[in-house]
Amino acid sequence: MLTVLGHRTYRHLFAAQVLSLIGTGLTTVALGLLAYDLAGADAGVVLGTALAIKMIAYVGVSQFAGVLTGFLPRRTLLVGLDLTRAAFVLLLPFVGQVWQVYILVFAFQSMSALFTPTFQGTIPDILPDEREYTNALSLSRLAYDLESLFSPLLAALLLTVISFHWLFLGTALGFLASAGLVVSVALPAARAASGGRFVDRLTRGIRINLATPRLRGLLALSFAASAGGSMVIVNTVVLVRSQLGGTNDDVAFLFAAYGLGSMAVAIVLSRLLDRVPARTVMVAGAASMACLLVVAGLGPGWTGSLIVWTLLGAASSAIGTPGGLLLRRSSDADSRPAIFAAQFALSHACWLVTYPASGWLGATIGLGPTFTVMAAAAAAGTLAALALWPARDPVEVEHVHHAFDHDGVHVHDAHHQHEHEGWEGPEPHRHPHRHQPIRHRHALVIDDHHATWPTGTAGG
């Protein structure tokens, strides 16, 4: 898995990702302390609102990432977003009202909503080998999990010598270091999104996601993952303190168990995907998620909860980590920025539903029934994925292009041979022309020439 770090460009980008994650983790801790400083006992309401604002920014703003990469070089865009995030974070220590926190959180998370899918969509272009890209996905997942474990520890150590306001400075320094690493490498250019109207370019990624069977399945599986993940994030503290009689340290232990389960799967996943199709791994993870939520709702006690949380982390990693492979297989260099941005928005839309549902149901009907409801949601996502994503899902698809007429510019060469009265030569020219039906096989992605996914060998 670590061999991919021998690629200089990826190594610098991975280091930039790690520094960015550490900075974000420090901000999470500092924001909680700032909320308590401003709102006291109502700090939970402030943090819950900030979390909802984060999801709204992710869903609403991320779609613009696919458009911006058509106008700005990737390196310029990524560096600019890092610098802007650093500037917004440095303003947080100076706020004195809760509404100011909300505005800065929205601004900061909007920049992250542009940065993350742009960053993710760049990696397949610098690692064209699928095995290397799979290793990069596993490393990325590992980085996220390690950040969730070690950022709170780092913050706790720093808080023994500095006030929480200085954590925001640490975040800004992380973003500045990330920008420096991005500047140090050359990144492949992204092609401008096609489509004459701005709305066509803006919605292109979502249209491709919804037209591609494996990506429809990925969306259903993302909903299953969010059903389980939201229960862990929102209700772990309630479970430990209210039902298990534990302490804040015990809450940290359960979160650590979840992270360790996720990391264990991330470490072995690249080898597993060499032997088992991604669909099998991801569906198994989603089905396991549903079953584990049922077990969690039965009240398994402290030891049982540690085991269940570890397995929930493993299931989450099995669902989420291979998703980048599906996006890579379903896109080309032209559509990749839009597809990654669309998946980022759609997957976070799932969390926008399950986050409040987990919290509201837990407070209204109790944790046991809420685990059952969210288990049913995860099961529904699993069944939908099985229906939307066929088991036979080859990369290369045989299909037919039906005959069609058009009046466009042609260049006659070895690949475009037919006769036209009064014209000879290789120069470009415009004339009415009828293309005859063509049956062929190639790696299929939804684009201007393949507006729909073929059924069998017809259409396309």
pLDDT digits (tens, 9 = 90+) for 201-247: 566 667 777 778 888 999 999 999 999 988 887 788 788 878 888 77
Instruction: List own/partner pairs for 2-10 with CB under 8 A and 24 or more apart.
Output: 2/135, 2/139, 3/132, 3/135, 4/127, 4/132, 4/135, 4/136, 4/139, 5/139, 7/126, 7/127, 7/132, 8/185, 9/126, 9/185, 9/186, 9/187, 10/123, 10/126, 10/127, 10/136
451, pLDDT greater than 90: no
434, pLDDT greater than 60: no
Q: CA 155, CA 145: separation in Å to the nearest integer?
A: 16
Q: CA 39, CA 382: separation in Å to the nearest integer?
A: 40
pLDDT at 104: 86
457, pLDDT greater than 50: no
Q: CA 251, CA 241: separation in Å to the nearest integer?
A: 8
Task: Give the residue among 67, 102, 301, 82 at the shortest CA–CA distance from 199.
Answer: 67
Q: Is the separation of the CB atoms in 56 and 345 below 8 Å?
A: no
Contacts (Cβ under 8 Å, ≥6 apart) of 21: 143, 144, 147, 151
Which range has the worst mean pLDDT, 26-30, 406-410, 433-437? 406-410
pLDDT at 422: 44
Give 394 or 231, the one with higher predicted confidence: 231
Which range has the worst mean pLDDT, 115-124, 207-216, 406-415? 406-415
Q: Is the separation of the CB atoms in 175 and 115 below 8 Å?
A: no
pLDDT at 217: 92
Contacts (Cβ under 8 Å, ≥6 apart) of 199: none
Residue 101 pLDDT level (bands cut at 50, 70, 90): confident
Domains of the chain: 1-190 (1.20.1250.20), 213-390+443-452 (1.20.1250.20)
C-alpha distance from residue 378 to each of 251, 255, 299, 347 (Å): 24, 20, 19, 14
459, pLDDT greater than 50: no
pLDDT digits (tens, 9 = 90+) for 337-347: 777 778 878 88
pTM of the model: 0.75
pLDDT at 228: 93
Q: Is the separation of the CB atoms in 364 and 92 below 8 Å?
A: no
pLDDT at 438: 58
9, pLDDT greater than 90: no
Query: What average pLDDT does the segment 33-43 reach?
Result: 70
b/e map 363-380, b = 16+ CB within 10 Å: eeeebeebbbbbbebbbe
382, pLDDT greater than 90: yes
Which range has the worst mean pLDDT, 45-54, 83-92, 252-261? 45-54
Which range has the worst mean pLDDT, 184-193, 335-344, 383-392? 184-193
pLDDT at 283: 95
pLDDT at 102: 85
Q: CA 2, CA 8: separation in Å to the nearest integer?
A: 13
Query: What average pLDDT does the segment 424-453 reach?
Result: 52
Residue 42 pLDDT level (bands cut at 50, 70, 90): low
The chain-wide mean pLDDT, for the chain, equals 77
- DSSP letter assigned to residue 184: T
pLDDT at 48: 65
323, pLDDT greater than 70: yes
pLDDT at 384: 96
376, pLDDT greater than 90: yes
Q: Is the separation of the CB atoms in 30 and 80 below 8 Å?
A: no
C-alpha distance from residue 114 to each of 59, 133, 210, 402 (Å): 10, 22, 21, 38
Query: What average pLDDT does the segment 56-84 reach?
Result: 81
Residue 424 pLDDT level (bands cut at 50, 70, 90): very low
Residue 2 pLDDT level (bands cut at 50, 70, 90): low
Residue 312 pLDDT level (bands cut at 50, 70, 90): very high
440, pLDDT greater than 70: no
CA gyration radius, the chain: 24
Query: What average pLDDT does the segment 444-451 reach?
Result: 52
pLDDT at 108: 85
pLDDT at 411: 47
Chain centroid to CA 35? 27
Q: CA 354, CA 289: separation in Å to the nearest integer?
A: 14
